[in-house]
Amino acid sequence: MKKLLFVFLFIFGATTTASAQVVVDGVNINNLEEVAMIRMIAQERFLSNKVTIFIDYGQSVQGGSRQRMEVISPNDGDRIKFNSVMHAVNYLISNGWNYQEAMVLPSEGNASTTGGSTQYLFVRRQ
């Protein structure tokens, strides 16, 4: 009976720990103690109803490649394809981040918000 209880607690603990992972470019940002705030950038995809999500936690993005800012599945290493912005917001909240605020930024050289991006700030849950 003790072995069964131990196995159950081990499995429960492993699944609870595994859910608190936000992986960006191979780095689980939940394990970085120096990261207290992140910026989520949401952009609509051309000719698609999906959105592309980028996470900025202060990492070096050499050559301006935004691929290094995409959220990666800890299970298979593939980019997570979010159905909507709220899908991404709920993903971050369920993985230990608290929503703070959002702002719409126009694209460069464009006074309107068309073609811009919405950026969301999150802080680590204490």
Phi, psi (deg, nearest 5) at residue 31:
-90, -5
15 part of a folded domain: no
Other CB atoms within a 10 A radius of the CB of residue 80 amount to 17
99 part of a folded domain: yes
2 part of a folded domain: no
Q: What are the residue ranges in the chain where pLDDT is below 50? A: 5-10, 14-18, 110, 112-113
16 part of a folded domain: no
Q: Report pTM.
A: 0.72
Count of the separate structural domains present in the chain: 1
9 part of a folded domain: no
10 part of a folded domain: no
14 part of a folded domain: no
4 part of a folded domain: no
Q: In what order do the strands lie in the sheet with 27-28?
A: 27-28, 23-24, 71-72
Which of the 8 DSSP states describes residue 83? S
3-state secondary structure of 50: coil
Are 21 and 30 spatial neighbours (Cβ–Cβ below 8 Å)? yes
How far apart CA 23 and CA 36 sit, in angstroms, is: 15
Range of the domain at 60: 22-124
